[in-house]
Chains A and B, each alone.
Chain A
Amino acid sequence: MGVYLAGVQVATAYPGTPSSEILESVTRFNDIYTEWSTNEKVAMEVALGAAYAGVRSLVAMKHVGLNVAMDPFMAASITGINGGMVVVSADDPGMHSSQNEQDNRYLAKFAKVPMLEPSDSQEACDLMRTAFDISEEFDTPVMVRSTTRISHSKSVVNVNQERVMPINRRSFQSNVPKYVMLPVHARARHSVVEERLVKLEAYAETFPLNQIFWGKLSIGIVTSGIAYQYAREVFPEASFLKLGMTYPLPRDLIHRFASKVDKLIVIEELEPFLQEGIQSMGIKVSGKEFIPRIGELNAKVIEESCRSVGLLDGPARKQIKKPQDLPDRPPLLCPGCPHAGTFFVLSSLGKRSSLSKSERRKAEESDLIITGDIGCYSLGANSPFYALDTNACMGASIGQALGMEKAGVNKKIVAVIGDSTFMHSGITGLVNAVYNESGITIIILDNGTTAMTGHQGHPGTGISARGKETQKVDLESLVRGVGVKNVRVVNAFDVKALRQNVRSALDNPELSVVIARGDCAMLLRTRSEPRAIDAGKCNQCGVCFLVGCSAIRQEDEHIFIDASLCVGEACDVCLQMCPQQAIAPQSGIAAEEVK
Chain B
Amino acid sequence: MKKLDMLITGVGGQGVILASDIISDTALAAGYDVKKTDTIGMAQRGGSVVSHIRVASQIWSPLIKEGEADIMLGFEKLESARWSYFLRPGGVAIINNHALPPLSVNTGNEQYPSDERITAILKQRTDVIYYIDGTQRAKEVGNVRTYNMLLLGCLSKLTPFKVNIWKESITQHLAAGLREINLAAFDQGRKEMRNLSL
Name A residues whose Cβ lies closer than 8 Å to a Cβ of B: 17, 96-97, 120, 149, 152-156, 226, 229-230, 232-233, 298-300, 317-318, 320-323, 326-332, 334-335, 356-357, 376, 378-379, 383-384, 451-452, 522, 542, 545, 548, 550, 552-555, 564
A to B CB contacts below 8 Å, 18 in the list:
A120-B35, A149-B62, A152-B39, A153-B36, A155-B36, A156-B33, A229-B62, A321-B85, A326-B82, A326-B113, A327-B104, A328-B104, A329-B46, A356-B108, A383-B103, A383-B104, A522-B44, A553-B106
Interface contact A233-B45, CB-CB below 8 Å = no
The one of B24, B40, B63, B112 in contact with A298, judged by C-beta atoms closer than 8 angstroms, is B63
Of all chain A residues, the one with the shortest Cβ separation from B110 is A327
B70-96 interface (Cβ within 8 A of A): 78-79, 81-82, 84-85
Closest approach, in angstroms, between the C-beta of B168 and any C-beta of chain A? 17
With a cutoff of 8 Å between Cβ atoms, the chain B residues found around residue A379 in the complex are 42
Interface contact A323-B82, CB-CB below 8 Å = yes
Interface contact A522-B61, CB-CB below 8 Å = no
For B98-141 the 0/1 string (1 means CB < 8 A from A) is: 00011111111111110000000100100000000000000000
Of all chain B residues, the one with the shortest Cβ separation from A227 is B61
A550 to B47, CA, bound (A): 11
B30-55 interface (Cβ within 8 A of A): 33-48
A229 to B34, CA, bound (A): 14
Interface contact A299-B106, CB-CB below 8 Å = no
With a cutoff of 8 Å between Cβ atoms, the chain B residues found around residue A149 in the complex are 37, 62-63
With a cutoff of 8 Å between Cβ atoms, the chain B residues found around residue A542 in the complex are 107-108
Closest approach, in angstroms, between the C-beta of A147 and any C-beta of chain B? 11
Closest approach, in angstroms, between the C-beta of B157 and any C-beta of chain A? 24
With a cutoff of 8 Å between Cβ atoms, the chain A residues found around residue B11 in the complex are 329
A379 to B111, CA, bound (A): 22
Most buried by B among A229, A233, A550: A550
A318 to B35, CA, bound (A): 26
Does chain A have a CB within 8 A of B12?
A: yes
Most buried by B among A320, A322, A335, A384: A320
Does chain A have a CB within 8 A of B180?
A: no
Interface contact A550-B44, CB-CB below 8 Å = no
A156 to B66, CA, bound (A): 24
Interface contact B105-A564, CB-CB below 8 Å = no
Interface contact A323-B46, CB-CB below 8 Å = no
Does chain A have a CB within 8 A of B18?
A: no
Interface contact B36-A327, CB-CB below 8 Å = no
Of all chain B residues, the one with the shortest Cβ separation from A521 is B45
A451 to B44, CA, bound (A): 9
With a cutoff of 8 Å between Cβ atoms, the chain A residues found around residue B84 in the complex are 323
Does chain A have a CB within 8 A of B67?
A: yes
The one of A322, A378, A550, A554 in contact with B108, judged by C-beta atoms closer than 8 angstroms, is A554
A320 to B43, CA, bound (A): 27
Per DSSP, are chain A's interface residues mostly helix, strand or loop, or mixed? loop
Closest approach, in angstroms, between the C-beta of A230 and any C-beta of chain B? 5
Closest approach, in angstroms, between the C-beta of A352 and any C-beta of chain B? 15
With a cutoff of 8 Å between Cβ atoms, the chain B residues found around residue A299 in the complex are 60-61, 63, 65
A232 to B61, CA, bound (A): 8
A267 to B113, CA, bound (A): 40
Besides the known contacts A154-B24, A299-B60, A327-B105, 11 further A-B residue pairs in the complex with CB atoms under 8 A apart? A154-B37, A226-B62, A298-B61, A321-B85, A329-B78, A330-B47, A331-B43, A384-B103, A451-B44, A552-B106, A554-B106
With a cutoff of 8 Å between Cβ atoms, the chain A residues found around residue B79 in the complex are 329
Closest approach, in angstroms, between the C-beta of B16 and any C-beta of chain A? 13
A564 to B46, CA, bound (A): 13
A120 to B63, CA, bound (A): 12
Closest approach, in angstroms, between the C-beta of A221 and any C-beta of chain B? 13
Closest approach, in angstroms, between the C-beta of B185 and any C-beta of chain A? 16
Of all chain B residues, the one with the shortest Cβ separation from A236 is B60
Interface contact A327-B78, CB-CB below 8 Å = yes
Does chain A have a CB within 8 A of B184?
A: no
Interface contact B78-A326, CB-CB below 8 Å = yes
A331 to B121, CA, bound (A): 24
Closest approach, in angstroms, between the C-beta of B18 and any C-beta of chain A? 13
A548 to B47, CA, bound (A): 14
With a cutoff of 8 Å between Cβ atoms, the chain B residues found around residue A17 in the complex are 42
Of all chain B residues, the one with the shortest Cβ separation from A302 is B61
With a cutoff of 8 Å between Cβ atoms, the chain B residues found around residue A564 in the complex are 144
With a cutoff of 8 Å between Cβ atoms, the chain A residues found around residue B104 in the complex are 327-328, 383
Interface contact B60-A229, CB-CB below 8 Å = yes
Of all chain A residues, the one with the shortest Cβ separation from B63 is A298
A357 to B85, CA, bound (A): 33
Does chain A have a CB within 8 A of B28?
A: yes
With a cutoff of 8 Å between Cβ atoms, the chain B residues found around residue A550 in the complex are 45-46, 103, 106
With a cutoff of 8 Å between Cβ atoms, the chain B residues found around residue A555 in the complex are 101
Interface contact A331-B24, CB-CB below 8 Å = no
Interface contact B102-A96, CB-CB below 8 Å = no
Interface contact B61-A233, CB-CB below 8 Å = yes
Interface contact B103-A332, CB-CB below 8 Å = yes
Closest approach, in angstroms, between the C-beta of B57 and any C-beta of chain A? 12
Interface contact A331-B47, CB-CB below 8 Å = yes
With a cutoff of 8 Å between Cβ atoms, the chain B residues found around residue A156 in the complex are 28, 33-34
Q: Which 9 A-B pairs have the closest CB atoms?
A: A153-B37, A331-B47, A331-B43, A356-B107, A332-B46, A153-B62, A327-B110, A233-B60, A329-B102
Interface contact B65-A300, CB-CB below 8 Å = yes
A321 to B85, CA, bound (A): 7
A153 to B12, CA, bound (A): 17
Closest approach, in angstroms, between the C-beta of A333 and any C-beta of chain B? 8
Interface contact A152-B40, CB-CB below 8 Å = yes
With a cutoff of 8 Å between Cβ atoms, the chain B residues found around residue A332 in the complex are 45-47, 103
With a cutoff of 8 Å between Cβ atoms, the chain A residues found around residue B21 in the complex are 154
Of all chain B residues, the one with the shortest Cβ separation from A522 is B44
Interface contact B37-A384, CB-CB below 8 Å = no
Interface contact A230-B44, CB-CB below 8 Å = no
Interface contact B65-A554, CB-CB below 8 Å = no
With a cutoff of 8 Å between Cβ atoms, the chain B residues found around residue A317 in the complex are 67
With a cutoff of 8 Å between Cβ atoms, the chain B residues found around residue A96 in the complex are 39-42
Closest approach, in angstroms, between the C-beta of B100 and any C-beta of chain A? 8
Interface contact B45-A320, CB-CB below 8 Å = no
Closest approach, in angstroms, between the C-beta of A276 and any C-beta of chain B? 25
The one of A230, A321, A357 in contact with B124, judged by C-beta atoms closer than 8 angstroms, is A321
A224 to B39, CA, bound (A): 21
Interface contact A452-B82, CB-CB below 8 Å = no
With a cutoff of 8 Å between Cβ atoms, the chain A residues found around residue B65 in the complex are 298-300
